[in-house]
A and B are shown apart, each in its own frame.
Chain A
């Protein structure tokens, strides 16, 4: 979105209304075909029939889904409301990355006990990892009206121009060994974070 620089406030927030090309129109939408996606998965599954009617099923899935917009719905100027972006959410060419529904590894264990007194008791465990995430700003900085899709600038604590308080906070975040996004943040120091990376 292009918002005139003079209308951006001191906190760096851009008002979406200032991006309007014509105030006479409330909304102008164009239906296009810019969405694209790929997904592949490999599944291996073992099943066992246990004595007396019980059963056990174990499966492992390796998956990769990538796209440029996972949901083409809802709020048109931010078709990527759910996809974090650097500037204009309409520029899908910049947002090819792991899909919002992506995961890497998945294990499913399901089983049921033999039938007793007409009852069958079963259980199921599903474990998934590798869901994508992005570092975003809590606010609207690109003027698209969505407050959760703007990729954040990751301050480098080693840079002399980083304010001392910010640098101290960043050090705390980066030194936290429990932070699953540590490597992601480290890789993005000093620039705007890249979209949708996974932890696993």
Chain B
């Protein structure tokens, strides 16, 4: 008796082409189902663990390939939204806060007490998001590309 190794299983994946664009395939079908279930492209993108931009582009392709848009409400010829890029400094360190305190308390009889306290705190490497797309005249701005 022989068993077919799973990697040898053949699969048929159906794609419908419109010109060179894939009008609909398995991925787009899943996305379409997710949009139908969740009611929005962003929720569908989250459910499918993909970016909103990617989901939007896939929906946009589907909409332009069919006579009637599959996902209504999205203008046919609208430009794709500009992407957001988040970068992390390769030298990024965990912010640290050092705190020191000293306190002295003295009872004066049964009814009175006096307390003196010193507090000191120092924060270093505090996190900060730096915009890297807006131009700067100064080369001192950390990590800003001086495209001009």
In the complex, how many angstroms separate the beta carbon of B116 from the nearest chain A beta carbon? 5
Instruction: State the CA gap A2–B136 with chains docked (Å).
Output: 5
Please, which residues of chain B bring their CB within 8 A of the CB of A76? Answer: 129-131
A45 contacts B126, CB within 8 Å? no
Interface contact A2-B125, CB-CB below 8 Å:
no
- Determine if B123 is an interface residue (Cβ-Cβ < 8 Å): yes
Pick from B117, B135, B136, B142: contact of A45, CB under 8 Å: B117
- The reply to whether B113 and A46 form a contact with Cβ atoms under 8 Å apart is yes
- Residue contact B137 to A79, C-beta cutoff 8 Å: no
A residues in contact with B124, CB < 8 Å: 36
Query: Contact string, B84-124, partner A, CB cutoff 8 A, digits 1/0?
Result: 11111101110100000000000000111111111111111
The minimal Cβ–Cβ distance linking A89 to chain B, given in whole angstroms, is 8
Q: How far is the CA of A144 from the CA of B137 in the complex (A)?
A: 13
Would A35 and B95 count as touching, CB distance under 8 A?
yes
Whether the Cβ atoms of A33 and B125 lie closer than 8 Å is yes
A43 adjacent to B138 (CB under 8 Å): no
Known: A2-B134, A88-B141. 10 other contacts (CB 8 A): A21-B133, A25-B83, A28-B84, A32-B89, A32-B143, A33-B93, A46-B112, A48-B113, A72-B128, A91-B138
**B interface with A by C-beta (< 8 Å):** 81-89, 91-93, 95, 110-138, 140-145, 147-148
A: residues with CB less than 8 A from B are 1-3, 16, 19-50, 67, 69, 72-73, 76-77, 79, 87-88, 90-93, 143-144
User: What 9 A-B pairs are tightest by C-beta distance, nearest first?
Assistant: A35-B126, A77-B131, A26-B82, A76-B129, A21-B147, A37-B123, A33-B125, A28-B133, A2-B135
